[in-house]
């Protein structure tokens, strides 16, 4: 429902355990906050291990490169605001303690977690993200750059850091749109490769379809891998693709495999098979019909290849 109040509106969405209230100003989502009824507090405590990261698909497919702990800060902050029922606003910091950060990401070097948090916050403050969307005025494709955070702070005496996201990033984390991707934070908690986290997000978008083909040039751009880095495709496969596949299979809820696809004599794409662990088969629970495929493509995602039948599978 919508409730008008002075110059803003509250858009309320009710879930089983909590309610999300989106603050809408002039048709744009300014921020959001959570509410939980008293009788659901105990129930809400049971989902702490399964906190959901929810992102716009445009943000997942945006071009950016972050260090592992920078990614962890963003992912943890998204879940933290839900846990504390505070929401995300461009003037409200999210506080992350070194102890809670270490508990959420067991693979982190525990020798000096707070120092690592501070270093990651300093780097994150300088980072930007390039988002590909549509200009509302002209209808043409638009390339837009924005910073991830507008403010980064740390409190030495308390052992915590504080982060405020920019309004544009908040919009892509919280906006009400048809195409978004969600996953449990613990599924990437033990990954030690920043590229593995990104590739997991790209593949989990298509978990219900069961396959995804990623163009090599597009993937390098999306991961912001410099032209002089992993110049040989063999090195890219070894240090990016194979490391990601190994960590996804070891730590996440997906089992993935891949094969290179050649155009002429050169590798141009990587075709992935995606299966949820414990499922009976590819795309269990949601068959990849053409309407669903067209919907994904219309949302700006890459062309989805035709599904491979069992007798065609080679990997």
Per residue in 231-259, pLDDT tens? 999 999 999 999 999 999 999 999 999 99
Domain count, the chain: 2
Residue among 205, 193, 197 at smallest CA distance from 301: 205
**295 found inside a domain:** yes
Contacts of 221 (CB under 8 A, 6+ apart): 63
Would residue 42 count as lying in a domain? no
Q: Which of 175, 190, 205 is the last residue of a domain?
A: 190
Contacts of residue 101, defined as CB under 8 A and 6 or more positions apart, other chains included, come to 72, 76, 108, 113, 117
Q: Whole-structure pTM over 0.75, yes or no?
A: no
Q: What is the mean pLDDT of residues 297-314?
A: 42
Residue 74 in any domain: the answer is: yes
Mean pLDDT of 6-26: 52
What's the chain's average pLDDT? 77
Residues 174 and 94 in one domain: yes
The string of pLDDT tens digits covering residues 254-271 is 999 999 999 999 999 999
Residue 99 included in any domain: yes
**pLDDT higher than threshold 60 for residue 165:** yes
Considering the domain architecture, whether residues 149 and 245 belong to the same structural domain is answered as no
Handedness of CA 56, 60, 61, 62 (dihedral sign): positive
Cα 194 to chain centroid, rounded:
12
Task: For residue 73, give both structure tokens.
Answer: 């800060």
Model pLDDT, residue 312: 42
List the CATH number of the domain containing 315. 1.10.10.10
Residue 199 has pLDDT above 50, yes or no: yes
Q: Which residue segment(s) compose the domain that 69 sits in?
A: 50-190
- pLDDT surpasses 80 at 309: no
Which has the minimum average pLDDT: 14-23, 102-111, 263-272?
A: 14-23
If 0-12 CB within 10 Å is exposed, 13-18 middle and 19+ buried, where does residue 265 land? exposed
pLDDT at 175: 56
Confidence of residue 40 (pLDDT cuts 50, 70, 90): very low
Evaluate if residue 9 carries a pLDDT over 90: no
Q: Is residue 176, in this structure, part of any structural domain at all? A: yes
Indicate whether 178 and 197 sit together in one domain. Answer: no
pLDDT (average), residues 48-74: 78
State how far the Cα of 152 lies from the Cα of 139, in Å rounded to an integer. 35
Residues 92/164, Cβ–Cβ less than 8 Å: yes
Instruction: Please list the alpha-helical segments (H only) found in the chain.
Output: 41-45, 57-60, 68-83, 98-104, 113-125, 167-174, 194-204, 216-222, 233-236, 242-251, 290-298
Whether residue 10 lies inside any domain: the answer is: no
What whole-number distance in Å separates Cα of residue 175 and Cα of residue 2?
A: 15
Q: What is the mean pLDDT of residues 80-103?
A: 82
Greater model confidence, 289 or 143: 143
User: How many residues in the chain?
Assistant: 315
Assign residue 98 a region: left if phi > 0, alpha if psi is -120 to 50, beta otherwise? alpha
Statement: residue 31 has pLDDT above 60: no
Question: Residue 82: pLDDT band by 50, 70, 90 thresholds?
Answer: low
In sequence order, what are the beta bridge partners of 255? 275
Spatial separation of the C-alpha atoms in residues 228 and 218, rounded to whole Å: 16
Mean pLDDT of 166-192: 77
pLDDT at 310: 40
**pLDDT > 70 in the chain, percent:** 68
Q: Judge if 75 and 141 occupy the same domain.
A: yes
The strands making up 8-14's β-sheet, listed across from edge to edge, are 2-5, 8-14, 19-25, 28-35
**Does any domain span residue 35?**
no
**155, 190, 225 - which closes a domain:** 190
């Amino acid at each position: 429902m919508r409730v008008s109040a002075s110059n803003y509106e509250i858009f309320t969405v009710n879930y089983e355990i909590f309610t999300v209230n989106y603050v809408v100003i002039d048709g744009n989502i300014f921020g959001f906050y959570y509410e939980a009824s008293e009788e659901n507090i105990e129930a809400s405590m049971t989902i702490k291990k399964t906190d959901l990261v929810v992102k716009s698909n445009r943000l997942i497919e945006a071009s950016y490169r972050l260090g592992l702990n920078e990614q962890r800060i963003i992912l943890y902050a998204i879940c933290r605001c839900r846990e504390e029922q505070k929401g995300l606003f461009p003037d409200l910091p999210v506080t992350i303690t070194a102890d809670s950060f270490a508990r959420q990401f067991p693979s982190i070097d525990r020798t000096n977690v707070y120092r690592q948090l501070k270093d990651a916050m300093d780097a994150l403050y300088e980072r930007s993200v390039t988002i590909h969307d549509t200009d509302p005025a002209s209808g043409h494709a638009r390339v837009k750059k924005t910073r991830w955070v507008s403010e980064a702070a740390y409190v030495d005496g308390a052992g915590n850091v504080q982060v405020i996201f920019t309004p544009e990033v908040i919009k892509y984390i919280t906006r009400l749109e048809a195409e978004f991707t969600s996953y449990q934070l613990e599924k990437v908690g033990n990954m030690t490769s920043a590229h593995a986290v990104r590739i997991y997000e790209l593949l989990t978008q298509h978990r219900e379809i069961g396959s995804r083909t990623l163009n090599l040039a597009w993937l390098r751009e999306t991961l912001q891998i410099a032209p002089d880095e992993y110049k040989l495709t063999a090195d890219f496969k070894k240090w990016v693709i194979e490391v990601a596949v190994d960590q996804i299979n070891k730590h996440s809820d997906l089992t993935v495999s891949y094969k290179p696809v050649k155009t002429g004599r050169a590798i141009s794409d990587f075709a992935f098979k995606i299966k949820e662990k414990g499922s009976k088969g590819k795309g269990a629970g949601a068959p990849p019909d053409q309407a669903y495929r067209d919907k994904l493509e219309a949302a700006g995602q890459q062309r989805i290849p035709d599904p491979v039948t069992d007798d065609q599978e080679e990997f």
